[in-house]
Chain A
Amino acid sequence: MSTLEVKGVTKYYKKLCALDNVSLEIPQGRIIGLFGRNGAGKSTLMRCMLGLMHHQGDILLNGEKVKYSDTAIFEKIAFIPDVSALDKRIRVKDAIELVKTINPSWNEERFDKLFAKSNLPLKNKVSSLSKGMKTKLYLLLTLCLDVELLLLDEPTLGLDIQFRKEFFNSILGEFYNEKRTIIISTHQVEEVENILQDIIFIDEGKIILYDSIENINTIYRQITVPQTHKEAVQALKPLSMFEGLGNITAIVKGEIDLGDMLYTYTNPRISDLFLAMVGGTSD
């Protein structure tokens, strides 16, 4: 059974269509990357999944419909939004005490372990913390919850590169197991691509790709050929084509048939595949 099912979800902000008939089935125990340009609908999709927004269509968690504003869902799902949403008026220990008391999914053992690594000053007010420390606190509060689904919307915003790497390579591992699903939305694709198992691309409110990394690497290839063979590459109807340094680099879908021509191929990077699918440049 899927952990989360999204069935024909459509969301409008006045006349702007933020989600257009989105359908997804998200199984247990996967780490999924959700990628899209700014305003593509990533945050809206996450908030609809959590029942934080009114929308058309259905969202089911373990077969049960997620209703609007049903806060009981947060015993099963944890969420870090893309904004610095921690209340700056309170102290670090108050924020910890609040989540610990209110959420029955709190795991004290994991908290002790993660808190020891965090260097967070308990007595300080949230307002006095740096952006990175605030993010650390939010991550700590969220990762200490024994939930089935973790939604991270730009979770490492404001963190330095060292902590970002530690977070994705080690801290997130403290949380993950085969029964838990993690959906990560981030612009720092390179930092997460090694841990992802599935990818979702969203553009203008529509899901344009949802597949496993394994399948994607079978279907899509990045080929490099000398510029003299441009026409042959164009015949493959590439998703994107880039000319430089005497070569052409293209991302193509499906089988490659270039006859006896010499070419090299690799698996495309997520960011390149994304740009190839939605348009734009790697700059």
Chain B
Amino acid sequence: MTKFFMFLKHEFKANKMAFAIPFIIQGINLALALIILILVASKLIPANGTLTEGVHELFKEINVSIDSELSGIVIMIMGYIMTAMSVTIYGVLVGMIRSGTVLNYEIRMGYELFYRSLPISIWSRSGAKYLNSIVGAFIAAMGVALVNYVSAAIMLSTVFVDNGMVWTMLFQGMIAGFISTIFAAFLFGSIGFLLSAVFTKMALMKGAFILLITGFVELLLKAFGIKFLPIFSYLTGTIAKLLQPSSMIQTSIENAKDIQLLTPIPVSNFFHLEQLWIMLISVGLFVLSTIIYKHKTIEA
């Protein structure tokens, strides 16, 4: 295990810029958002009013009620969207782009022989790379979501009197957003991982091309009434699910009048069987990727 953790640490060091980039981008985004908010709010400050009152005016302008029970839902949805977007952008997209190069980068750059000459098994190396690229990107995305959460909670606390409610509702939204996207991050990251094992160059481009061809074939077969494993439909369906609020959020909206928004939502509400399938498929893709990677010839 020492070797595995050493390699995990080594992988992190070799790729630390990839982890830093989401935070740098998000830092810039937040700074810009804050500047825009202050600028807009300062325009709306009533005579002799404060910046907080200006923000209140801004919320009124965009039809967000700040006193009703619905405000809690609005905040929760904000938390959900912020997290889902962070995880989608950084965890899924960045994770997929990162994992699309993870097994072929050293081969392409000519470093592979150095690593293959170390007494550490291919499975340990591949496992460390998988964790680093997919889970690592996901942790980075979660870090960005937390930064968003804290920033948004501080900003919204200037608007709402009940600070505890803001922090709790945003947090519930964040958890819902996190759970509804984590599995997609694993699935798409694992697909990128497989592509990096199969193709040495332009793995994602080639993967996207194959996916398009698959979609086209699926359409053709469907037109002729032939049943076929719906890979393209499954993937596009998963993307679509990412954009939908979770069932937990939907229930909250439907029961908005009497829901006790501050009551913690049961953990079981967050999980369903499809997530288990996604995890199993991801593990399968990891195993397949490692076998392909192991048998890849390093040219003399």
Q: Which residues of A contact B (CB under 8 A)?
A: 18, 43-44, 47, 50, 52-54, 69, 71-75, 78-79, 81, 83-91, 94, 97-99, 101-104, 138
- In the complex, the number of residue pairs spanning A and B with C-beta atoms less than 8 Å apart equals 82
User: Nearest Cβ in chain A — how far from B164, in angstroms?
Assistant: 45
Q: B109-137, CB under 8 A of A: which get 1 and which 0?
A: 11111111111111000000000000000
* Alpha-carbon distance A64/B6, docked complex (angstroms): 29
* Alpha-carbon distance A102/B10, docked complex (angstroms): 11
Residues of B within 8 A of A84 (CB): 110
Question: Of B111, B116, B121, which is within 8 A of A86 by CB?
Answer: B111
Residues of B within 8 A of A69 (CB): 116, 122, 294-295
Residues of A within 8 A of B109 (CB): 87-88
User: Nearest Cβ in chain B — how far from A211, in angstroms?
Assistant: 25
Complex contact B118–A74 (CB within 8 A): yes
Residues of B within 8 A of A72 (CB): 119
Residues of A within 8 A of B114 (CB): 81, 85-87, 138
Q: Which residues of B contact A (CB under 8 A)?
A: 2-3, 6-7, 10, 13-15, 106, 109-122, 294-295, 297-298, 300
Complex contact B116–A52 (CB within 8 A): yes
Question: Of B3, B6, B113, B118, which is within 8 A of A81 by CB?
Answer: B113
Minimum-distance CB pairs A-B, first 3: A43-B300, A85-B114, A74-B119
Residues of A within 8 A of B110 (CB): 83-85
Most chain B beta-carbon contacts within 10 A, residue among A50, A75, A83: A83
Smallest Cβ-Cβ distance to B10: which chain A residue: A98
User: Nearest Cβ in chain B — how far from A168, in angstroms?
Assistant: 22
Residues of A within 8 A of B111 (CB): 85-88
Residues of A within 8 A of B10 (CB): 90, 94, 98
Decide: A103 near B298, CB < 8 A? Known: A86-B111, A87-B106, A90-B13.
Answer: no
User: Nearest Cβ in chain B — how far from A23, in angstroms?
Assistant: 19
Question: Of B2, B119, B300, which is within 8 A of A44 by CB?
Answer: B300
Residues of B within 8 A of A101 (CB): 2-3, 6
